[in-house]
């Protein structure tokens, strides 16, 4: 199996980049959940292409049609299905690629995996376009979590060697280029522009911060929050690493520097620092849940590259045509939020079962 | 659910650090698989404590008893169950901790999660001791993979700020301190010693390299090899980050630098570099599968720390007693290998279904 | 979770009777599978309403649109999504039912389950219309199995007290009323007509026979073929019982009468009788897999019935309007075949993994 | 996968009849659940062999040892593992069977499935002995459900052609031969005795009635209560059919006879009859959940039978030696209760998540 995620929620994503549609089914959304479809569209628009210099000019309205799961805008308990039609497909751009796999892309591995039967147009099921249905699911999950006081925000943490500055404490989703420091943002935009001018691309790091997450979400061992979030986050194309809290930086520290001391403030337990990123033993501790995704530079570049012909087994050079982002990080932010939202809501629904009949979260404080 | 992993294989881990036993059940191992139990014991010994200055003096023979799943040393198709008795439990060491959670540990989150009913002794189900059953499963998986030409190796990639040097190309499992560069290893041991002398601990990075992995393992989106490996690897306590191939370093690169060019060598397709760590679109490409785990410093330290009493909600200081590793990275290596072996074998068994009746992997080249 | 089934195949069914569409996603169909869409339509037509005196006059073309998973008519390995638009919805027929649950229907339990937020029109997600997407999945699975020599047939085993006569050995799918004995069939049609004339309905038993099923499918305990088939077959509304082979009749027998003796015929092992219905210990033995479904009489009847108003908690009488089959068994046959096909293909894909590289029992001989 | 069941609970059963032990792991039991181990032992004793004329003389104490999941007798949230040692194994009794499969047994299908590597002694993993761990899980689940007012009872519904009389309304578990009518019971015991005297065996039907089950458990389609219970119940060896409520009898009825009219009694909704067996649309309706299992006659009989030698492919006669029940139905009753308890508790834990924050079940009335 491949394109399904979750236990209490169950998300399945389908579609190919230049097929009839992309879409998703989502089971487990509690009956009676009211969804603001306009807000959902606004969330999807953050991922949509074609709005900025650093984004591909392919323009898709990306408006989902809901085929099931709702009566009006209220969920009815049945599985939700939503589809986005592919109105602007250009399959011809990809014709030459079929026998000469693009370096850094899934063209070759798809060929091996599916014995040549994969849908080659535009990356088929491997296309970044498949993150649109992820954002439908994530946008729904986000709205449900917000009603519970859980808020999911993100920023561009770095582009290439250029880091953002400061900490992410506010929602930046209205910014066209969401960095805390506008100055750092300008440098990053500049870097992206230079790479684009050379027909090249550049990578970066996305950071996601989730506040209001109650303590007690997640399970030990293989269903901890780190396990759950990484399982869904690596479903976003181009992600090659994930870290929680200090992450790789923690590996350089002493225990006495890395452990987060507990303290009581106003009768409430918290930690003085948050190096753990809100997770201990796989379970949330009530502090903000923080993770970062390492995003590789977009593999589709106009620069000439070395590849091979799969049929003749001869070396070839390749120049990728078509419409591609010189940097995917800005459009990846809502995807990271979507991944977090689905993972957290899944854990949250399980937690409700644990809390039912107990004194509730406040008891355990 | 919590302590189960896998689809074609299904691993469940049970036990508490100071309970009667720790163990695992493993379903899906093909009938007729011959296991060398002596080799398995040698693998488990690499994880066992008490052998080195950087390891806790708790001595456990860690010899598993197999209760089911075998006739002699040949798997019979039924679920395998193996247990390791806890012969050397010292529950008293942990008595004081019950109300004062150790910073950096799961004590507090377990309290919230299980409403105070968790097994507190030695971290209970959250103990590092639970990696012993992971290594039983992984040791079995490793032996099966080796017969298919898939080899899983690991090394200490860094301790604190000190990196190893060179690339991991050979099995280092016979080294007491597995680094490529012995000189770098000495510096690391020195650093660990200094931290230990101060009652402190230090973190590091473990690297795992899997060679001989055929192209075509893994699925798109949520069941890619990155998703699968990270889901199991975060089950190892103290892991706070994972990266594949260049990982976070890729975020700093240009596409033209990061894409791995394809080439034909002796009629066989490969890539000139392996920045992707052997995975494209979630699916293996035939190159070595490479990942690294960020390991935080052991949270159990003798240094006095700030914490709180959960009952009185007052601030407290805490000095952790008991037996603890000043650095967990050396003993974590076999766990990383075990996680990789279980994840790869799980994907491999699925791949067999896809290949059955096809011309086989060579056809697709 | 609710509307998903399978391990190697993964089927999710969505939609409400009078919503925008019903449909399904199906993951795990091997890449390169050629589907005859015309044959699939013919299969779906067997389930479609409106063709016969014993079927509701609601006419739906029931032509699925495939949104993903294919390039032309060849599966590409990505999840398949197909939808059927609801063109002929009459939501008004069901307005009165919302507060007065229909006896024998899911109206009341849906009310409790979804706290009044369920889609009430036409049974919503509980409608028999949801068997159309089941038949899309099953029709695809059937075609794949036929290429492997596995054939799935069904018949009306009884209607009310009237049994069919003879054994099912040939495909009866071209018969409008598929019984082995035409005479028995006539009596059954007569009985249905009499019930319909009284505004009443009648139940019956559907039998499914699967030939060419290789020995070795299924697993012990909870994933035996009986477990797998019953898990999906009870997803067909109105099914209240299932039996394999002799089933309930076996409970009346002696062991010496019920055990199927083994024999060698032309060097091939078989059993002299097939009381086990082709399954021993959950695993197929190479004999025809036989099961029967007990189908209750359609609960929607024009006869006045006793019910209650959920808001006022007062007793009420109810006469169900709308379009309803006086007997659902004829249209249930393709659903039973679909359920069997999905369950068998799921097990078959797992079996391929087990057989890969083995000599295989007789195949290998 | 094979021997695992459940979503919110996760049960894995392991062991072979004459191996070191049989046992189970059970994840998902809420932390803080107090278990009466003496009561659990009493429940297991109902399944244990060797107590009656109609039961095999093999005597096993069947006392489980709990290796994990408890602190004292209170569950701690971690996976529970319990094992029962096989102290009374007679592997020699089964030596001859290895090449001559017993009719009606899994010997042949296990041979095909596991390519001859299966554990042949005493049926290995297919042995009825594997129902002991099922009863450990079920006994725990039963105790939890009883605290919620859910009570699970069972009776011998028929042996051979002899039916019990009356309805099951009281717990009969203290009866050595649990029928409602003692007279009917005597006739059944007599029938079993006659079959045993001839070295033969006889089948029957077990009935299970669950009272106090709240409305709203289960899901539509593939996770309805019928689907869930049948998936686990067919894991009990010798079960060849299952029906809910009227079951197969409903197939003979008119809709006007079969539909259960709703009524309000003391302000509470109920149905006048319970032909649906407490389940509508897969979801419980608050009436007693009733199901029956068709149990085939024990296949191990002393009567000479026809079989074949698998190596020489020649016909053979076979007389099964060893210790076998002439009728398995009495000992199967606790297994049926265990299956129901695990399935219902699994659904109940999910329901808690749905109810959390709602007004609870009474709101929806």
pLDDT tens for C27-51 read 999 999 999 999 999 999 999 886 6
Please list the residues that pair with D270 across neighbouring strands.
D263
Give pLDDT tens digits for D219-229: 999 999 999 99
- DSSP structural state of residue D258: H
- Of the candidates B332, B330, B322, which has an alpha carbon nearest to the alpha carbon of residue B54? B330
φ, ψ of residue D169 in degrees (nearest 5): -125, -15
Cβ of residue C128 closer than 8 Å to a chain D Cβ = no
Torsion of CA C96, C98, C99, C105, to 10 degrees: 110
Q: Give dist(CA A360, CA D147) in Å, integer.
A: 20
φ, ψ of residue C7 in degrees (nearest 5): -120, -50
Q: Give dist(CA B106, CA D78) in Å, integer.
A: 13
Cβ of residue A81 closer than 8 Å to a chain B Cβ = no
Cβ of residue A357 closer than 8 Å to a chain D Cβ = yes
* Contacts with A, C 6-35, CB within 8 Å: 7-8, 10, 12-16, 19-23, 25, 27-28, 31-32
Cβ of residue A219 closer than 8 Å to a chain B Cβ = yes
Indicate yes or no: CB of C227 within 8 angstroms of CB of D234. yes
Sort out which chain D residues have CB atoms less than 8 A from C216's CB and list them: 109, 112-113
Q: Across the interface, which of C1, C158, C303 has its CB nearest the CB of D251?
A: C158
Q: Please give, rounded to a whole number of angstroms, the shortest distance from the CA of A239 to a CA of chain B.
A: 8
* pLDDT at position B362: 37
Cβ of residue D255 closer than 8 Å to a chain B Cβ = no
Mean pLDDT of chain D: 92
The CB density around residue D321, as the number of other CB atoms within 10 Å, is 15
Q: Give dist(CA A182, CA A155) in Å, integer.
A: 12
Does residue A90 have a pLDDT over 70?
Answer: no
- Of the candidates A10, C264, C119, B63, which has an alpha carbon nearest to the alpha carbon of residue D223? A10
User: Are B15 and B73 within 8 A, CB to CB?
Assistant: no
Mean pLDDT of chain C: 92
* pLDDT at position C49: 80
- Of the candidates B343, B339, B340, B341, which has an alpha carbon nearest to the alpha carbon of residue B130? B339
Using only the alpha carbons of chain B, give its radius of gyration: 21
Q: Across the interface, which of B2, B20, B68 has its CB nearest the CB of D14?
A: B68
Q: Please give, rounded to a whole number of angstroms, the shortest distance from the CA of D255 to a CA of chain B.
A: 42
Q: In the 3-class helix/strand/coil scheme, how is A276-318 assigned residue by residue?
A: CCCEECCEECCCCEEEEEEECCCCCCCCCEEEEECCCCEEEEE
- Of the candidates A140, A148, A96, which has an alpha carbon nearest to the alpha carbon of residue A122? A96
Q: Give dist(CA B208, CA B339) in Å, integer.
A: 10
Residue with tokens 């107090």: D34
Q: Give dist(CA A176, CA A158) in Å, integer.
A: 15
Question: In this predicted model, which residue has the larger pLDDT, C323 or D57?
Answer: C323
Please list the residues that pair with B80 across neighbouring strands.
B26
* Residue B205 CA to its chain's centroid (Å): 12
Indicate yes or no: CB of D76 within 8 angstroms of CB of B16. yes
* pLDDT at position C362: 36
Q: Give dist(CA B136, CA D211) in Å, integer.
A: 44
Sort out which chain D residues have CB atoms less than 8 A from A353's CB and list them: 8, 349-350, 352-353, 356
Per-residue pLDDT band for A291 (boundaries 50, 70, 90) equals very high
Q: Give dist(CA D24, CA D17) in Å, integer.
A: 14
Cβ of residue A248 closer than 8 Å to a chain C Cβ = no
The set of chains that have 3 or more CB pairs under 8 A with A is B, C, D
Please list the residues that pair with C305 across neighbouring strands.
C318
C-alpha pair distances (Å), C188 with each of B189, C197, C206, C284, C292: 85, 14, 13, 33, 18
Sort out which chain A residues have CB atoms less than 8 A from D357's CB and list them: 352
Q: Is A40 left (phi over 0), alpha (psi -120 to 50) or beta?
A: alpha
Q: Give dist(CA A4, CA A7) in Å, integer.
A: 10
Q: Give dist(CA C22, CA C133) in Å, integer.
A: 7
Q: Give dist(CA C9, CA D24) in Å, integer.
A: 27
Q: Give dist(CA C261, CA C263) in Å, integer.
A: 7
Helical H segments across A36-168, by residue range: 37-47, 107-113, 131-147
Weakest-pLDDT range from A275-279, B126-130, D78-82 = B126-130
Nearest chain B Cα to A350, which residue? Answer: B1
Q: Give dist(CA B353, CA A278) in Å, integer.
A: 40
Cβ of residue A174 closer than 8 Å to a chain B Cβ = no
The CB density around residue A182, as the number of other CB atoms within 10 Å, is 11
Residue with tokens 């079927």: C55
* pLDDT at position A99: 87
What SS3 state is found at C120?
coil
| Tokens coding D245 | 């409520």
Cβ of residue C308 closer than 8 Å to a chain B Cβ = no
* pLDDT at position A363: 36
Please list the residues that pair with A5 across neighbouring strands.
A11
Indicate yes or no: CB of C230 within 8 angstroms of CB of D235. no
Nearest chain C Cα to A80, which residue? Answer: C14
* pLDDT at position C359: 42
Nearest chain C Cα to D243, which residue? Answer: C241
Q: Give dist(CA C106, CA C112) in Å, integer.
A: 10
Which residues have a Cβ under 8 Å from the Cβ of C202 and sit 6 or more positions away? C159, C160, C191, C192, C195, C297, C326, C327, D253, D254, D255
Give pLDDT tens digits for A38-59: 999 999 999 988 666 656 655 5
Going from N- to C-terminal start, the domains of chain A cover 4-363
Q: Please give, rounded to a whole number of angstroms, the shortest distance from the CA of C268 to a CA of chain B.
A: 23
* pLDDT at position C361: 37
Q: Give dist(CA B221, CA B100) in Å, integer.
A: 42
Residue with tokens 């015309």: C38
Average pLDDT over residues A101-126: 93
* pLDDT at position B60: 56
Burial of D95 (0-12, 13-18, 19+ CB in 10 A): exposed
Weakest-pLDDT range from B11-15, B53-57, B78-82, D185-189 = B53-57
Question: In this predicted model, which residue has the larger pLDDT, D88 or A350?
Answer: A350
Using only the alpha carbons of chain D, give its radius of gyration: 21
Burial of C363 (0-12, 13-18, 19+ CB in 10 A): exposed
Q: Across the interface, which of D31, D78, D349 has its CB nearest the CB of A353?
A: D349
Q: Please give, rounded to a whole number of angstroms, the shortest distance from the CA of A284 to a CA of chain C.
A: 24
Q: Give dist(CA B301, CA D303) in Å, integer.
A: 70
Give pLDDT tens digits for B147-198: 999 999 999 999 999 999 999 999 999 999 999 999 999 999 999 999 999 9
Q: Please give, rounded to a whole number of angstroms, the shortest distance from the CA of A103 to a CA of chain B.
A: 5
| Tokens coding A235 | 């479903």
The set of chains that have 3 or more CB pairs under 8 A with B is A, C, D
The set of chains that have 3 or more CB pairs under 8 A with D is A, B, C
Using only the alpha carbons of chain A, give its radius of gyration: 21
End-to-end CA distance of chain D: 40
* pLDDT at position B58: 53
Longest dimension (CA), chain A: 72
C-alpha pair distances (Å), B276 with each of B152, B180, B260, B302, C323: 17, 22, 7, 41, 59
Residue with tokens 């790091």: A205
Weakest-pLDDT range from B76-80, B330-334, B350-354, C317-321 = C317-321
Cβ of residue D98 closer than 8 Å to a chain A Cβ = no
Superfamily of the domain at A4-363: Chorismate synthase AroC (3.60.150.10)
Per-residue pLDDT band for A360 (boundaries 50, 70, 90) equals very low
Residue with tokens 């095909």: D112
Question: In this predicted model, which residue has the larger pLDDT, B267 or B207?
Answer: B207
User: Are D278 and D245 within 8 A, CB to CB?
Assistant: yes
Give pLDDT tens digits for C138-195: 999 999 999 999 999 999 999 999 999 999 999 999 999 999 999 999 999 999 999 9
Cβ of residue D250 closer than 8 Å to a chain C Cβ = yes
* pLDDT at position C25: 97
């Amino acid at each position: 199996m491949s394109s399904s995620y979750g236990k209490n929620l169950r998300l399945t994503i389908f579609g190919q980049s230049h097929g009839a549609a992309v879409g998703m089914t989502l089971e487990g959304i509690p009956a009676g959940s009211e969804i603001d479809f306009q807000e959902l569209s606004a969330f999807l628009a953050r991922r949509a292409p074609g709005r900025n210099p650093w984004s591909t000019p392919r323009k898709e309205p990306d408006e989902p049609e809901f085929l099931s799961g709702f009566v009006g805008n209220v969920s009815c308990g049945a599985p939700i299905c939503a589809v986005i039609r592919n109105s602007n497909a250009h399959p011809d751009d990809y014709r030459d690629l079929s026998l000469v796999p693009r370096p850094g892309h899934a063209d070759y591995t798809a060929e091996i995996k599916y014995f040549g039967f994969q849908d080659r147009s535009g990356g088929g099921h491997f296309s970044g376009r498949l993150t649109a249905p992820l954002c439908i699911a994530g946008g729904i999950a986000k709205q449900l979590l917000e009603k519970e006081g859980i808020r999911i925000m993100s920023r561009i943490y770095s582009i290439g060697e250029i880091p953002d500055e400061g900490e992410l404490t506010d929602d930046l989703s209205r910014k066209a280029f969401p960095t805390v420091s506008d100055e750092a943002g300008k440098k990053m935009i500049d870097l992206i522009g230079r790479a684009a001018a050379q027909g090249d691309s550049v990578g970066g790091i996305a950071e996601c911060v989730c506040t209001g997450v109650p303590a007690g979400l997640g399970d030990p061992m293989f269903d901890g929050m780190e396990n759950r979030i990484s399982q869904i986050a690596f479903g976003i194309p181009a992600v090659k690493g994930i870290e929680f809290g200090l992450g790789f930086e923690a590996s350089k520290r002493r225990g006495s520097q890395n452990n987060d001391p507990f303290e009581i403030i106003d009768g409430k337990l918290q930690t003085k620092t948050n190096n753990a990123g809100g997770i201990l033993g796989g379970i949330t501790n009530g502090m903000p849940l923080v993770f970062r995704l390492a995003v590789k530079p977009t593999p589709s570049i106009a620069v000439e590259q070395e590849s091979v012909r799969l049929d003749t087994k001869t070396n070839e050079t390749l120049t990728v045509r078509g419409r591609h982002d010189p940097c995917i990080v800005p459009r990846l932010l809502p995807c990271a939020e979507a991944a977090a939202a689905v993972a957290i809501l899944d854990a949250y629904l399980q937690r409700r079962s644990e809390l039912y009949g107990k004194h509730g979260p406040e008891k355990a404080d």
